[in-house]
Structure 1
């Protein structure tokens, strides 16, 4: 796997150099870019204390245009190891999008699911030490259904666009809808059923978005068992129904954002991170409902340079307060320039699934991009 990733990196770099030095008429604007996030995090959780430096993310991407109307992108995440599907080097993005018309674009390949405002945000720009719990658990990062870590992505086809321009030419309405395998990144469909995910939002004033999202589909596993009649293939498909409501207002370097998400559907007990997990049919005891909400504010101290921030982040994995987990976060960040950012946070955590509910976290991150 490591050799494959290194080969892909070499090919991406060589292709970018060739395209920039000897551009063809059918391909242009090829760009090699990437980013990394170095992290220090400590936690006082009882029986699970931690105090460690970490490579949170390291990614390299190549993107460009073909025949002017097509945008394409390939992105690889290469931090981690090769024995754990949650952390191993892997392709995260590989897609092409026809963008001739702003009101009707078609994207195909592997990319972000069109669910929630936060899911498609760049990790450096998202604002906090991690995505919210609902984004992680209900939008497909570390999905509650038991799928392997997929960073909110899947394989499929999507339509999207913006229309209804006002007098100033600013579009007031956005839509997006896609059909996906439902199994996460780099995995084929298992139950031959597809996920349909979509959203729509209005933009009544500059910087403001108010949206709603829906998701219907399934997550499945397959195994082979021995019977009196020979080997038989079994498939267990768990229906998933989800929705979310979102609101955001970004103005004059201030950011306000809040989202609520709800999920209905059973989940597997083990997460698919190793090959043996893919055949484990045991179900989670959390039941068939989950929900959560977050609200945040990012305020400028020095405009476009230094910010104070706070976030309330609550998630109920069982649909009620019995296992509710809540983060109360405050922090600061400083942007040396657009490509270099230092941030720090303190979080008080209340986790009702633990014997000792409360613990503290400190997180410091240095993010850079090129």
Structure 2
């Protein structure tokens, strides 16, 4: 996969340069960009203590425009091993979007599911050591249903746009709705049933968004006895306010639907259709965060309350109480550090500490 992605990037760059010399109206010169996130993390979990350096993420991206009205993007994650789907190098984005009008845009390919405010965010801009637990488990990162790690993405088509502009051109209303395979990235549909995911939000004042999202669909596997399809019924309520380098964001997500006992990490898992009835058919989670500037656009302090209930009851809840800071040395080079108190009611010793430090740069 890594060789394929590098070859694809080189081919695209060479081809686009040739076309750019012939006609700037057909292909804009593609932009190659990316980012790297290095991480050190300590965990004091009883009987599972650890401290390690790692490459959390390495991404390369190629994007540009076609015929002025179309934007395209190809993005790959190139770090990780080659033995499991959750950590293997892989293509994460590959799409084209028609962008002629702001009130209606059409995107086709593989891209972020239109669910929650946090899911579409860049991992660096998201602000904390990782996406919140409810987004990670209920928006297709390490989905509770048993889907392979898909970075919040799927294959499909999406319609979106901004409406009701003010006198100065600021939109007051946004809508988005998409139809997807329901199987995650780089995977064909199994049960021929599609996921429908959508959301709307209003923007009453500059920097504020208040939104609601819905998701109905299924995740399926084909075993010895045939296809087993598990329904996904989810909704999210979201709010965000970003102004003068201050950020406040909060989201609640609720999910109904059973899960498979084994997550899809290897091809053999696809034939394992055993259902995890003990986990139940409900889950939910909530987070609230604040990021405050000490030096505007340079130095921030931050805090997050992050709770997830994998069976929608308090006996299995896991809560992160996080405080931290980040500092940008120069443009696109950032150091962040957090202390996390974890309360995990599913284990004997509920409380333990974590420390997370990340150095990231974009190019």
State the Cα deviation string for residues 153-207 of structure 1 (Å, max 9, x = none).
0000000000100122111000000000000000000000000000000000000
Give the equivalent residue in structure 1 for 2:45. 45
Unpaired segments ≥5 residues, structure 1? 226-232
**Cα contact 1:16–1:31 (8 A) shared by 2:** no
Report the TM-score, using the length of structure 1 for normalisation. Answer: 0.95
| Match runs of 1:1-370 below 5 Å | 1-15=1-15, 18=18, 24-223=24-223, 225=224, 234-284=226-276, 285-370=278-363
- 3-state SS of the aligned residue for 1:28? coil
Q: Post-superposition shift, 1:269?
A: 1.2
Change (3 A) 1:315 1:117: same
- 3-state SS of the aligned residue for 2:279? coil
Distance 1:142 1:113 in 2: 14
Distance 1:25 1:5 in 2: 27
Instruction: Report which stretch shifted further, 269-278 or 146-155.
Output: 269-278
Q: Post-superposition shift, 1:74?
A: 0.3
Question: What is the total number of aligned residue pairs between the two structures?
Answer: 362
Change (3 A) 1:29 1:6: closer
State the Cα deviation string for residues 217-258 of structure 1 (Å, max 9, x = none).
0000012x3xxxxxxx60000011000000000011100000
Q: Post-superposition shift, 1:337?
A: 2.9
Distance 2:180 2:138 in 1: 15
**Cα contact 1:38–1:56 (8 A) shared by 2:** yes
Q: Post-superposition shift, 1:348?
A: 0.3
Distance 1:167 1:25 in 2: 32
State the Cα deviation string for residues 240-294 of structure 1 (Å, max 9, x = none).
1000000000011100000000000000111101111111111222110000000
Distance 1:83 1:327 in 2: 30
Change (3 A) 1:17 1:41: farther
Q: Post-superposition shift, 1:14?
A: 3.5
Change (3 A) 1:280 1:125: same
**Cα contact 1:19–1:30 (8 A) shared by 2:** no
**Cα contact 1:2–1:82 (8 A) shared by 2:** no
Change (3 A) 1:191 1:209: same
Q: Post-superposition shift, 1:13?
A: 4.4
Report the TM-score, using the length of structure 2 for normalisation. Answer: 0.97
**Cα contact 1:322–1:352 (8 A) shared by 2:** yes
Distance 1:286 1:159 in 2: 35
CA RMSD of aligned residues (A): 1.3
Distance 2:234 2:315 in 1: 21
Unpaired segments ≥5 residues, structure 2? none
Distance 2:20 2:262 in 1: 46
- 3-state SS of the aligned residue for 2:241? strand
Give the equivalent residue in structure 2 for 1:230. none
Distance 1:19 1:112 in 2: 29
Q: Post-superposition shift, 1:18?
A: 4.8
Instruction: Report which stretch shifted further, 329-338 or 108-117.
Output: 329-338
Instruction: Report which stretch shifted further, 79-88 or 308-317.
Output: 79-88
Distance 2:17 2:320 in 1: 45
Distance 1:78 1:271 in 2: 22
Distance 2:328 2:130 in 1: 18
Instruction: Report which stretch shifted further, 233-242 or 1-10.
Output: 1-10
Q: Post-superposition shift, 1:307?
A: 0.1
Q: Post-superposition shift, 1:21?
A: 6.2
Instruction: Report which stretch shifted further, 151-160 or 351-360.
Output: 351-360
State the Cα deviation string for residues 290-343 of structure 1 (Å, max 9, x = none).
000000000001111000000000000001111000000000000123311110
Distance 1:14 1:298 in 2: 42
